[in-house]
Chains A and B, each alone.
Chain A
């Protein structure tokens, strides 16, 4: 059902929601950007419409709300261990259509890969409501249309920001709240139908593609910083870490922390064995994971075309270009 709200009405709506929900949205963090004097657009709690950034894409994705960078799985005392209390409140996340699809990819790994769901993820996931922000033009690096992630029906509220009002399409759960603050107005969500960038994903990977010279270019261009992993809304990997407290070594925690396949140490085994020591091999592994392997296993591509990896790479490596080159050489082989 459609609603129109003025800025003030929307703020009142948000204030009402804040009684029951933690609300996260893209926010401008002044001076926190990669270069001095620049701002970082990142997920943070918000209270008002003015705080929510609509005209930029976030550097990090909303996944950190579902999957914290470091998450304690157990606390250990000398004799016992206990699971952390999950006293988290329900959460509203303002995000883009591609990001909704990205959460579905996280679901695939954390809830459906193997026969046991991840209880820490599930606990948070069940409490999340999506408020989808309409994309009107998209951004330079976006390629969601090619990845089929430009549309989504999976939202609690869909929003279009206009000069002095917000148009919303709400699921029944949120219509009473919206009706309380705004007025009914016809509104049909629109989705972006064309990006500046388009990609073609490979259909079939011939064995020759694994050793193709295409990858060796990245042996030296990529510096294995892993930024593309941490900003990716679909990267799910973690490493287990036990720690003890300095002031009381008998107590400690077992945590999981984000890991990335581009970063040193990802495959290290005892005895000095490791795999994919060349950065180009890691690029091949990541690219195939995102636009080939995941689909083979689960039916959809992992990559949702949000383009964040291109935005953050210090070496100006373009993943969309890699996808297209991969498709080209796959056609040739």
Chain B
């Protein structure tokens, strides 16, 4: 039978440790992915979970996986050459065509940087596709900073602001909540600026408030939602909010829709 629950094997090509609990896995997979989509990742007998595709290219996908439970604990013990199981990709990604020729602001909190990493890399390689790009990335502490090498690389081509909620003796960068840095943004043309906001629920709520305060219209704001998901196919019901299924209709939503959703 044509079974959408059937996962396929994908070999681990490389593992990069981002932080103590976040590893980026590069898997051999020929999926056709849009930035912002996710896959269902599994290990038979252990479990299955939705994970964003943080980057992709010819014959590979990357996922940045935080060790938090049953499946991810076991995933973190794997070595290159071993295999994981995936199915997907699922959901709607970021509407890159809407960003073309526009000013783009990306505000990412913590692991929220993962689903937008491929967007940032795309504009790193094709800077002419957007008018300007401004990344604001917030993390809890210096030890939680993800994609440190990429952040430096991106800073060569566009504006990158990294901040931590609380620094340490070695941290010389910005300290403070991301919302404070959003407040300080100077937008030459708010109505012509597109904004992506991804992160934990509270971070998204307050960041969006600041963005709206800068005069950006709600229809220019894009968010990505994380909800419990057991299928990715519109069947299990866990991801439902109102008449919306996050796995099918999201996880990326325009704020005009996302702002109406009440869990």
Q: Does B3 contact A (CB under 8 A)?
A: yes
| Chain A proximity of B120: nearest CB distance (Å) | 23
Shortest CB-to-CB span from A112 to chain B, Å, is 9
Q: Which residues of B contact A237 (CB under 8 A)?
A: 236-238
State how many residues of chain B have any CB contact under 8 Å with chain A.
38
Cα distance A123–B3 when bound, in Å? 11
A19 interfacial contact with B, CB 8 Å: no
Does A81 count as interface, using CB distance less than 8 angstroms?
yes
Q: Report the nearest A residue to B85, measured CB to CB.
A: A81
B127 on the interface (CB 8 Å rule)? no
B168 at the A interface (CB under 8 A): no
Distance A240 CA – B242 CA, assembled complex (angstroms): 22
Which residues of chain A are near B66, meaning CB under 8 Å? 270
Q: Establish whether residues B236 and A210, one from each chain, have CB atoms under 8 Å apart when the complex forms.
A: no
B237 and A273 within 8 A (CB): no
Interface of A is mostly: mixed
Q: Give the complex CA separation of A83 and B2 in angstroms.
A: 11
A260-298 Cβ-contact flags toward B at 8 Å (1 or 0): 010000111111010110000100010011000110110
A267 and B263 in contact (CB under 8 A), knowing A254-B48, A273-B201? yes
The answer to whether A110 and B1 have CB atoms under 8 Å apart is: no
CB distance from A255 to the nearest CB of B (A): 11
- Mind listing 24 A-B residue pairs with CB under 8 Å? A76-B45, A83-B3, A109-B234, A110-B235, A113-B248, A114-B233, A116-B233, A238-B236, A240-B231, A240-B236, A241-B47, A242-B46, A242-B47, A242-B48, A243-B45, A250-B45, A259-B230, A259-B238, A267-B227, A270-B66, A271-B68, A275-B227, A293-B243, A294-B243
Q: Does A252 contact B (CB under 8 A)?
A: yes
In angstroms, Cα B45 to Cα A118, docked, is: 21
Check B1–A119 contact: CB distance below 8 A: yes
Contact B44 A113, beta carbon cutoff 8 Å: no
Known: A119-B2, A269-B226, A270-B69. A242 touches B42 (CB 8 A): yes
- Nearest first, the 9 closest Cβ-Cβ pairs linking A and B are A114-B234, A237-B237, A252-B45, A270-B68, A113-B234, A76-B44, A275-B263, A293-B243, A244-B45
Q: Do residues B228 and A269 form an inter-chain contact, with CB atoms below 8 A?
A: yes
